[in-house]
Structure 1
Amino acid sequence: MSSHHQVLIIGGGSAGIMVAAQLLRQKKIKDVAIIEPADTHYYQPAWTLVGAGTYDYSKTARPMSSIIPKEATWIKDKATGFDPENNTVHTESKGDISYDYLVVAPGLAYDFSLVPGLGEVIDKGVVCSNYTDPKHTWEVIKNFTGGTALFTQPTTPIKCGGAPQKIMYLAENHFRKSGVNKKTDIIFATGGTVIFGVKKIAKTLMEVVDRKDINLRFHHKLVAVDGEKQIAWYEMGKEITAGGCVVISSNEEDDLKLDESFQYNYKDVEMTRDGNRYGIHYDMLHTAPPSVAPKFVKDSPLVNDAGWLDVDHQTMQHNKFSNIFGLGDVAALPTAKTGAAIRKQAPIVVDNIDLLIKQDKMGTKVYNGYSSCPLVTDYGKMVLAEFDYQNNFTPDPKLKQMFISDSSKEHWRLWMLKKYGLPHLYWNKMMKGKHV
């Protein structure tokens, strides 16, 4: 059995729903279908707050049936592959579905095989992730009694690049309130070279790191986790011979110390060496899962060499198939994978499809890489990192109306925006296809 739709969308997440809702509401396109197998739609940005015990998990979930626009056709099934030459998508049980225009927005998938050992321990015991089970994160933080609290991330692209450090700042706040901080070392180990790619934001975050006495470790590529021994294994992502420095110096075998250029605010926690790998012993571990495009996308002719959906960085149109568009986390765009990015990408996709249908031409709007990361730095404090493809700091003028003159500084009003303003906007405006 097969069916045909004028616009077919894969994915009932933020991207798919925004595009569908805007096409139907703003552009009056009649025939829009969404392929989405899930029963529940989650507002994931609030999971940071859930993991810190300050937001109700159940409030982040709504039935998918209440989110998919009434005028859209919901194809409750899994997409399994593409035949772009014949304008067709294969599904698991509903057969082939053909289209005039296709929007690929299934989000990303987790591939635990990229960090051996992590899949076995994630969301169990002292290993947690706000990305997969934020309720467990809160249990881990609440029950932590001291030792090494390790916050880390894989070197794959991940959703919201700032999320692995937001939960760390909130955890530190909780440890301080409960007095556990006196016997705790907090470590942030990242494959990157700086705390944040936008200079103005990095400056603020370094002040936060100082205030919270956090040890930053750079060039740390997470390669494995030993759940039994509670060791996270790293390889160094920088030539260790660069400038003739030794990454770890040791006078005696058991006294390992990191070279200065690999870290900031050193904490002498237990480390192990095995060849070119360095293990950090943890008493709690929070990480983002290693992320990839979903298998049916990755194994298709639609991806670039890195395995992400190959779209034009400015128009979101596929680089090879002109009636296919892609946006959101699956798209190969050199910017952060966030809902804020989707908010700016969706109208461009919608505009282009609308013009192609009605006038057989593309629009003139371009996406400049805008993304934003609400960086929660304490209970009641937040910085809003907004940036483009060039990592320029690009604050939204609407914030000026909230009396926030500089969103690169910590502010309680930004916390209110994160906890109350954005969820409200999301459910009531963005998911309904209204202009935001």
Structure 2
Amino acid sequence: MAPAPVDRSHDVLVVGGGNGGISTAALLLRRGCPDVGLVDPSETHWYKPLQNYVGGGLCDLDELRRPQASVVPPDVHWHRTAAVAVDPAAQVVTCADGTRIGYGDLVLSPGGQHDWSQVPGAGEAVTDGRAVSTYVGERAPEVWRQVQALRSGTAVFTIHAGPSSGRETVLKPMFMACDHWRSAGVLDDIDVVLVCDTGRIHPVARIEQEIRTHLAGYGITVREHTAVVAVEDRVVVLESPDGPERLPFDLLHLLPPYRAPAFLADSGLDAEGTRGYAAVDPETLQHPAHGRIWCIGDGADLGTARTGGGLRRQVAVVVENIRRSRRGEELQRYDGYTVGPITTSRSRLSLGEYDRTDRLTPSIPLVDTVRSRRVWWVVDRYLLPWTYWHRILKGRV
């Protein structure tokens, strides 16, 4: 039986219209790719790092979202639908609206997805306001409302080692809240608890040291080797080596559990140990079994922290490697660079840059970027958002 015909083909097809997808499409055009297609159903584009500042009362939602149509490069053919299957042998992507799109090379940048089902009751708690999360964009203002309203009681913040987008930046709303409570004179009346399911908050020793300094400064209790297993009414259910525990809370901020988009595993693009995320050579960003498929961002099993700073490096490598692979040249290598900006107050920030071996890789030589400073806060709050909208999404960085 002959294969079903395709409705459209592109020299390079990009799946996903977030940071990675849009900037890849834009850079491909700038590097001379004659025909770029984009598959993404989103109507709104979010600059997600600012969601934490919304939760800290330092930013409005309107500053971090724009119509998707305004950021898709005009010369990119935008398929306003979702990818539901990839056939690597036929080099075809099937979409939710039934469209079949052929490709020469395919760049997968679909991101990760919240999976509240992993923690029973958590999704419902965020929806009805019993819990909050800056990671849920539309609900981010609720974080600041509850922080302002809390004058005493127990505030619980969570961090976990599972796949997540910008994992360490979940510390931002906690530190900004503590700084606000200190300024309001109520911090001593609030029991702030950080629940961490491992023995370390960060894999890099120098960054861990900086974090611990500020945890101690605010008097935050750290519950190590403790996982959140459920949320019931205004009680968070924990599991530690000592057994289960029920901890009542007055404020609960959650880092969502994540999962990979289902079509990756359904299409056989994952591998043993990737937990449904796309298998990929972590240095060349090429799929190990399908040489015309490339994987970047939160949807790929890259063995490094999932951050926007890391994604910028990945985009440059993947665009260059598509060119090199077509010419039979040696592929460029991505060293796993990533960056986790952590606000330590409402006006200072630690800028930890590191690679997949947990080695510090500062962009500015001889400067301790991990040390919390006002200048890094200004960069993160104002310079990077401007760079994102005007440079990164246009393929200029």
Give the alignment of 1:153-192 within 5 angstroms. Answer: 153-192=159-198
Q: Which runs of 5+ in 1 are unaligned?
A: 241-246, 248-275
Pick the aligned partner of 1:283 from 236, 250, 255: 250
Instruction: Please say if residues 23 and 354 of structure 1, whose CA atoms lie closer than 8 Å, have aligned partners that are also in contact.
Output: no
Distance in 1, matches of 2:223 and 2:194, equals 6
TM-score, length basis structure 2 = 0.95
Distance in 2, matches of 1:386 and 1:147, equals 35
Instruction: Please say if residues 77 and 94 of structure 1, whose CA atoms lie closer than 8 Å, have aligned partners that are also in contact.
Output: no
User: Percent identity over the alignment?
Assistant: 32
Instruction: Please say if residues 125 and 140 of structure 1, whose CA atoms lie closer than 8 Å, have aligned partners that are also in contact.
Output: no
Pick the aligned partner of 1:50 from 29, 54, 59: 54
Distance in 2, matches of 1:59 and 1:373, equals 21
Distance in 2, matches of 1:3 and 1:114, equals 38
Instruction: Give the Å deviation of 1:161.
Output: 1.3
Instruction: Give the Å deviation of 1:155.
Output: 4.4
Q: Secondary structure of 1:128's match?
A: coil
Instruction: Give the Å deviation of 1:232.
Output: 1.3
**Partner in structure 1 of residue 388 of structure 2:** 426
CA 1:11–1:299: 2 relative to 1, 3 Å: same
1:281 partner letter: P
Q: Which moved more, 1:2-11 or 1:123-132?
A: 123-132
Pick the aligned partner of 1:393 from 360, 385, 390: 360
**Partner in structure 2 of residue 14 of structure 1:** 19
Distance in 2, matches of 1:65 and 1:50, equals 24
Consecutive aligned runs of 4 or more in structure 1 exceeding 3 Å deviation:
none
2:190 partner letter: T
Pick the aligned partner of 1:416 from 368, 378, 388: 378
- The one-character-per-residue Cα deviations of 1:341-399 (angstroms, maximum 9, x if unpaired) are 10111111001112234x2x2543201110001111001100101110111111112xx
**Partner in structure 2 of residue 350 of structure 1:** 319
Q: Does 1:99 align with 2:68?
A: no
- The one-character-per-residue Cα deviations of 1:274-329 (angstroms, maximum 9, x if unpaired) are xx322221111001111011122233200123211100010000011110001000
**Partner in structure 2 of residue 203 of structure 1:** 209
Give the alignment of 1:59-138 within 5 angstroms. Answer: 59-132=63-136, 133-138=139-144
Q: Secondary structure of 2:128's match?
A: coil
CA 1:117–1:155: 2 relative to 1, 3 Å: farther
CA 1:396–1:123: 2 relative to 1, 3 Å: farther
Q: Secondary structure of 1:7's match?
A: strand
Instruction: Please say if residues 12 and 103 of structure 2, whose CA atoms lie closer than 8 Å, have aligned partners that are also in contact.
Output: yes
Give the alignment of 1:366-405 within 5 angstroms. Answer: 366-397=333-364, 405=367
Instruction: Give the Å deviation of 1:217.
Output: 0.9
**Partner in structure 1 of residue 279 of structure 2:** 310
Instruction: Give the Å deviation of 1:41.
Output: 0.7
Q: Secondary structure of 1:431's match?
A: helix
2:219 partner letter: D
Instruction: Please say if residues 159 and 167 of structure 2, whose CA atoms lie closer than 8 Å, have aligned partners that are also in contact.
Output: no
Instruction: Give the Å deviation of 1:79.
Output: 0.9
Distance in 1, matches of 2:166 and 2:157, equals 15
Instruction: Please say if residues 385 and 408 of structure 1, whose CA atoms lie closer than 8 Å, have aligned partners that are also in contact.
Output: yes
1:371 partner letter: T
CA 1:307–1:67: 2 relative to 1, 3 Å: same
Q: Does 1:31 align with 2:35?
A: yes
Distance in 1, matches of 2:15 and 2:146, equals 35
Distance in 1, matches of 2:329 and 2:114, equals 34
Distance in 1, matches of 2:133 and 2:158, equals 10
Instruction: Give the Å deviation of 1:235.
Output: 1.9
RMSD between aligned alpha carbons?
Answer: 1.4
Distance in 2, matches of 1:137 and 1:423, equals 21
Q: Secondary structure of 1:162's match?
A: helix
Q: Secondary structure of 1:97's match?
A: strand
Distance in 2, matches of 1:320 and 1:74, equals 27
**Partner in structure 1 of residue 156 of structure 2:** 150
Q: Does 1:2 align with 2:30?
A: no
Q: Secondary structure of 1:99's match?
A: strand
- The one-character-per-residue Cα deviations of 1:169-222 (angstroms, maximum 9, x if unpaired) are 000011112222131000000112112211111111111111100001111122
Distance in 2, matches of 1:129 and 1:311, equals 30
Distance in 1, matches of 2:187 and 2:214, equals 15
CA 1:364–1:100: 2 relative to 1, 3 Å: closer
1:43 partner letter: Y
Distance in 2, matches of 1:362 and 1:222, equals 48
**Partner in structure 1 of residue 290 of structure 2:** 321
Bigger radius of gyration among the two: 1
Q: Secondary structure of 1:101's match?
A: strand
1:186 partner letter: V
Q: Which runs of 5+ in 2 are unaligned?
A: 1-5
Instruction: Give the Å deviation of 1:154.
Output: 4.3
Number of aligned residues: 388
Instruction: Please say if residues 386 and 393 of structure 1, whose CA atoms lie closer than 8 Å, have aligned partners that are also in contact.
Output: yes
**Partner in structure 1 of residue 308 of structure 2:** 339
Distance in 2, matches of 1:153 and 1:304, equals 26
